[in-house]
Amino acid sequence: MNLEHVFVCGNPALDFAATLRARRSARFEMFVSPDRLNAWYVESGVVDFVSPGQDSDVEEAIVVREAVYRLVTARRLGEPYDDEALTVVNAAARKPAAAPRLTTAGRRTDATPAEALATVARQAVELLSGPDVPLMKECGNPECTRVYIDRSRGMRRQWCGMESCGNKIKAAAYRARKKQAQTATAH
């Protein structure tokens, strides 16, 4: 399987919220089709299979994703929840979720797009009402808007992921220091 999505946030609900990239600048939408949305559900491990979806499934997922992002941001900043976002996430979480089943090969979860979305919404409810709330941080890369769970020793992690953001920022800082040192020795 060719993974096209990045899962560095430490929680499926946070990875889901991060599917709109670079919210402050270039905005890059990952959910451009029902197939891309379904690929996210499978690649994230939320479900093993999703039945084909419609454009309306993508539209609904984007509405829920944005509500999750608003709630995560409010919770992280210690601000009150947006009532509309609460309504959207709670309504999605109330719908039937994907049900795992035991097979001779192990556990398998097949879902409709609506069941997969309900599963993610429930994960958001669990996250935002659970013990990981104090561990939520926003990536230190100014271009990135991912929120992640920092389980590092001493809570010193600064990036959503080294490959996706940390290496870029560290390399840029190194180049800036090197350039500054060259400029200083040239004078």
What pLDDT, on the 0 to 100 scale, is given for residue 4?
Answer: 66
Residue 140 lies in a domain: yes
Q: Is a pLDDT exceeding 80 seen at residue 94?
A: yes
- CB 53, CB 113: distance < 8 Å: yes
The answer to whether 147 and 17 are in contact (CB under 8 A) is yes
Is residue 155 domain-resident?
Answer: yes
**Amino acid making up residue 57:** D
For residue 122 the two structure tokens come to 């429930």
Pick the more confident residue, 186 or 126: 126
The CATH number that applies at residue 171 is 1.10.3300.10
Element containing residue 38 per DSSP (H, E): helix 34-43
In contact, 97 and 122? CB cutoff 8 Å = yes
Number of domains in the chain: 1
Whole domain around residue 40: which residue ranges? 12-186
pLDDT value at residue 1: 43
Q: What is the pLDDT of residues 14-64, one digit of tens each?
A: 999 999 988 888 788 999 999 999 999 999 999 999 999 999 999 999 999
How does DSSP classify residue 78?
Answer: T
Mean pLDDT (the chain) is: 90
